[in-house]
Chains A and B, each alone.
Chain A
């Protein structure tokens, strides 16, 4: 089993749609969780951290379910500019638990007009 697992997609959605991505992680001791965004042929950039209580940033909502070891990202009112690959990221999955982040393979989103 992969340490951080995501559905690779692609998710093809029309503008204005709501889309949700899930991610599962293997280590129950993981402490920090993030969603990164990677545009085509660009480097990944932090989209948002994921907090235990869930958090929202504009059209984006992140949720953490520790019991089931999954993280979700919800995007409301999708825009064309949301088209990208979304990477689920978890820390503490190797011997250097403090600062190591492990990236999922990413979920590709394509928003169509």
Chain B
């Protein structure tokens, strides 16, 4: 079946512009996660959606970052007034609710802020 997809795969933007990143989770997965991974670094948790519960936004680094999810489907991560330090790969993952909790990752969006 289809895996997690993300778009765009690459995004180059100028400092100060807004960007919107999209994630399509695996159908039926109730949980969706966004992570940031800077070059050579580990995964940094950003935000977590679980069904209709309020999202866990504890990982968002500043109020320039926000995310939405429509029901249990598509999610968008928006970064306003981008800064050079926002340059990273943004990874989305989805999982079924359950003890196994395996997360399936999308290929990521590589964001470069000039």
Contacts and interface: CB of A to CB of B under 8 A. Distances in A.
Contacts of A68: none
Contact of B43 (A42, A44, A95, A99): A44
A46 B42 contact: no
A23 to B, nearest CB: 12
Contacts of A32: 99-101
Interface residues of A, number: 23
B95 A99 contact: yes
A34 B102 contact: yes
Contact of A87 (B31, B42, B106): B42
A96 B78 CA distance: 23
Given A32-B99, A87-B43, A100-B48, A43 B105 contact: yes
Interface of B: 31, 33, 35, 41-43, 45, 48, 50, 53, 56, 58, 91, 95, 97, 99-103, 105-108
Interface of A: 31-32, 34, 42-46, 49, 87, 91, 94-96, 98-106
